[in-house]
Amino acid sequence: MAHARDLLRLARPLDWLKGFFVLMPLPFAVASGAHLDPLPFALGLLGFSLLSSAVYVFNDLRDVEFDRMHPEKRERPLAARRVAPRLAGLECALLLGLGLALVTASARLAALEIALVYLSLNALYSMGGKHVPMLDVFLLAAGFVLRVLLGCALIGASPSNWLLLCSSALALLLALAKRRADLVQGLGPGHRPSLEGYSQEFLDQAMAVMAAMAILAYALYAMDSQVLRPGREFAGVPLVTFGVLEVLRVARVEAPRGFQMSRFLRSPALGLCVVGWLLATLWSLGTL
């Protein structure tokens, strides 16, 4: 019989840390005059997190045989046969229903539309998109960018083009780092068919391009911003640079141990970087 701990692990609540991307546009949007209503925002954020858990369960159901060949993923509840597929399917349906109900309760139509696009793209990923080189990376990255758009939708703000460019580049960097780790770990096409279309050299070059784009886009965003105080615009740029370089460092130096996105997102170095960026941003906005 499945334990509650295994069912919880199947939902991957630690991956809810990706919700940071939902919070990314908030300081700038509120400073621009957008109204933050805590209850609808919390409902939308929690609902989207539950939808992401439903996606993880669905993907594990689809990937169970592949996961049993993976050195780490074989310990997942489904792959390790600690949770029956029928029970996992029920959990997926419950998470999906509750998540959609909460996003709908936020009374933000744009947020519901974003949630439906997120589910559609992840269905495409799970049903075969993850086996197509480059398409798999773009579908992974889209989930992060949709979180940024969700944050804007929940407070009725229009996303900045520079912020979208920065978050897109950062999301692609994370997705490429994940694929690079798969390649370096020696996982062949038998586990991840899309790896046949990648080389380590290509992934290193693509990651360098995305890293440079993310830093430059954020710097240009700070320069172009109408809400940051004069003389304080670039306070957050060093923190963004640190965070991007930390992704590159982990991907290149710690690749043999695997680049687990959820593990990286809760690393102490990144946590300090995020706190530092938030403080620098609030100071730049004149809030501190």
Q: What is the mean pLDDT of each run of 10 residues along the chain (288 residues)?
A: 82 87 89 88 96 95 81 81 91 97 94 97 93 95 96 91 92 92 74 86 96 95 86 92 90 68 73 91 87
pLDDT at 86: 94
With CA atoms as reference, report the closest residue to 163 among 1, 21, 269.
Answer: 21
On whether the CB atoms of residues 111 and 225 are closer than 8 A, the answer is no
On whether the CB atoms of residues 66 and 192 are closer than 8 A, the answer is yes
Helix axes 237-253, 200-224, angle to 10 degrees: 170
- Look at phi and psi of residue 186 and say left if phi exceeds 0, alpha if psi is from -120 to 50, else beta: left
Distance, in Å, from the CA atom of 218 to the CA atom of 97, rounded to the nearest integer, reads 37
- Per-residue H/E/C for the chain: CCCHHHHHHHHCHHHHHHHHHHHCCHHHHHHCCCCCCHHHHHHHHHHHHHHHHHHHHHHHHHHHHHHCCCCCHHHCCCCCCCCCHHHHHHHHHHHHHHHHHHHHHCCCHHHHHHHHHHHHHHHHHHCCHHHCCCHHHHHHHHHHHHHHHHHHHHCCCCCCHHHHHHHHHHHHHHHHHHHHHHHHCCCCCCCCHHHHHCCHHHHHHHHHHHHHHHHHHHHHHHHHCCCCCCCCCCCCHHHHHHHHHHHHHHHHHCHHHCCCHHHHHCCHHHHHHHHHHHHHHHHHHCCC
pLDDT at 41: 95
Angle at 18 between CA 244 and CA 39, to 5 degrees: 130
pLDDT at 286: 85
